[in-house]
């Protein structure tokens, strides 16, 4: 298993395991924009290197203002964090959540953070036939029994999205019970704005709603760690009160300001068009009956696949890794099986190599691919 630290994108472990240099590995285990960072972001970091002799702004004021303008919110509604993961941690700490509900399968950090901070964890699982979205009755019970509930939309690793009707019912129920609904929207930027299903326009109505976003995936800067949460001002203040001073470094702030400073409309549109086109191509190529794969629809820049029973995710990951391609095993996710894997959507050239290699590996066990 390559997920030594519980996540994909661990190039160091893969390089050691397979004896392949980091730069020669093709990483389909992390879901990052294949276009790479926008040029102006790289330029901003290079030009701003001299700023490392100063402390970063502990209030993240310039980036906060840009985010507020982009989202149509007041600055006091926004918490800038060291990646979306820090925002999740701040939510649990700021809300003092003793019982945390989680809709599974999901991003592993929800449960890991809850356990780390001493909370009791409850889960509601969705079935494959439901697209891994738990039954509404089970979600209602989860909200009633929890201090805070995590939902991912688009969900990781399934790529599924909750309908607006379900979101409205759940957020209303959360307000009724005094339960905080924490919506992880880390991958929502890959969806065209006019197609997004989100409660962001109604955030002011729900004091118990928190939306968490990542800037590292869409803008391809995961090494800098940058994300944010949006919430009612009183709720946001609770999260901000638990944040370590200077947790977001100066270069990350510069990158975020460059991402939101204007002029990236073409980059953003090209990204969404590329992901949609390549995701559809991958589904078509991997859906041929002879491969024996099951593929779930996804709104994000990754796909959840179920291997034939002749393979386990761990075995397949090792075989792909020896050929220089990293994939994500999903065998450890609650609600999934030992045959489940996740692959990112990358460039056309990379995706062609992925498909060719997967056919080759599947052919090792008699599948005529």
Its sign, for the CA torsion 96, 102, 106, 111, is: positive
Summarised one tens digit per residue, pLDDT across range 282-304 is 999 999 999 999 999 999 999 99
Residue with tokens 């995710």: 313
C-alpha 44/C-alpha 65 separation (Å) is 18
**Measured in Å, how far apart are the chain's first and last C-alpha atoms?**
25
Q: Does residue 369 surpass a pLDDT of 90?
A: no
pLDDT confidence of residue 6: 60
pLDDT grade for 20, boundaries at 50, 70 and 90? confident
Structure tokens at 202: 């109604």
Q: What is the DSSP letter of 133?
A: P
pLDDT value, residue 12: 85
- Whether 9 shows a pLDDT value over 80: the answer reads no
In 3D space, the residue among 53, 138, 94 whose CA is nearest the CA of residue 236 turns out to be: 94
Q: Are 299 and 337 in contact (CB under 8 A)?
A: no
User: Quick one: DSSP state of residue 134?
Assistant: P
CB 304 within 8 A of CB 286: no
Q: 166, 274, 280, 175: which is closest to 218 by C-alpha?
A: 274
How confident is the model at residue 368, as a pLDDT? 46
pTM (predicted TM-score): 0.95
Residues 104-139: tens digit of each pLDDT? 999 999 999 999 999 999 999 999 998 899 999 999
Tokens of 131: 């697209």
The verdict on whether omega for the bond into residue 12 sits within 30 degrees of 0, i.e. cis, is: no
Domains, the chain, in order of start with CATH, read: 11-30+265-363 (3.90.1150.10), 39-260 (3.40.640.10)
Cα separation, 242 vs 89, whole angstroms: 9
* pLDDT of 113: 97
- pLDDT over 70 at 5, yes or no: no
Lowest mean pLDDT across 21-25, 179-183, 263-267, 307-311 = 21-25
Residue 162's pLDDT band (cuts 50, 70, 90): very high
What pLDDT shows up at residue 10? 73
CB 206 within 8 A of CB 235: no
Kindly report, residue by residue over 229-257, the tens digit of the pLDDT. Answer: 999 999 999 999 999 999 999 999 999 99
> Counting every residue, how long is the chain?
369
Which segments within the chain are labelled E, that is strand? 26-27, 78-81, 99-104, 120-125, 148-152, 180-184, 209-214, 227-231, 294-295, 302-306, 325-326, 328-329, 340-344
């Amino acid at each position: 298993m390559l997920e030594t630290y519980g996540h994909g994108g661990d190039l160091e472990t893969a390089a050691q395991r397979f004896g392949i240099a980091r730069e020669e590995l093709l990483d389909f285990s992390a879901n990052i924009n294949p276009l790479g960072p926008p040029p102006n972001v790289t330029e901003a970091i290079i030009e701003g290197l001299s700023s490392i002799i100063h402390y970063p702004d502990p209030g993240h004021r310039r980036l906060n203002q840009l985010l507020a303008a982009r989202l149509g919110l007041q600055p006091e509604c926004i918490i800038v964090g060291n990646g979306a993961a820090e925002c999740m941690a701040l939510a649990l700490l700021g809300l003092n959540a003793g019982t945390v509900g989680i809709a599974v399968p999901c991003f592993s950090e929800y449960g890991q953070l809850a356990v780390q901070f001493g909370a009791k964890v409850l889960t509601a699982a969705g079935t494959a036939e439901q697209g891994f979205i738990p039954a509404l009755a089970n979600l209602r019970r989860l909200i009633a029994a929890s201090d805070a509930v995590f939902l991912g939309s688009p969900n990781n690793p399934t790529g599924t999205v909750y309908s607006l009707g379900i979101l409205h019912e759940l957020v209303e129920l959360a307000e009724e019970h005094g339960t905080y609904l924490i919506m992880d929207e880390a991958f929502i930027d890959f969806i065209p704005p006019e197609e997004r299903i989100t409660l962001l326009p109604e955030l002011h109505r729900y004091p118990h709603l928190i939306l968490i976003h990542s800037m590292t995936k869409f803008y391809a800067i995961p090494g800098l760690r940058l994300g944010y949460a949006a919430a009612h001002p009183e709720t946001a203040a609770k999260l901000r009160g638990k944040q370590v001073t200077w947790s977001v470094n100066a270069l990350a702030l510069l990158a975020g300001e460059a991402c939101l400073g204007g002029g990236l409309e073409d980059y953003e549109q090209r990204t969404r068009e590329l992901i949609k086109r390549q995701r559809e191509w991958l589904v078509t190529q991997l859906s041929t009956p002879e491969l024996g794969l099951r593929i779930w629809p996804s709104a994000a820049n990754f796909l959840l696949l179920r291997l034939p029973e002749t393979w386990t995710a761990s075995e397949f990951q090792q075989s792909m890794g020896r050929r220089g391609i990293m994939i994500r095993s999903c065998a450890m996710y609650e609600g999934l099986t030992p045959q489940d894997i996740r692959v990112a959507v990358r460039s056309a050239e990379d995706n062609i190599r992925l498909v060719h290699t997967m056919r080759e590996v599947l052919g090792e066990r008699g599948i005529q691919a």
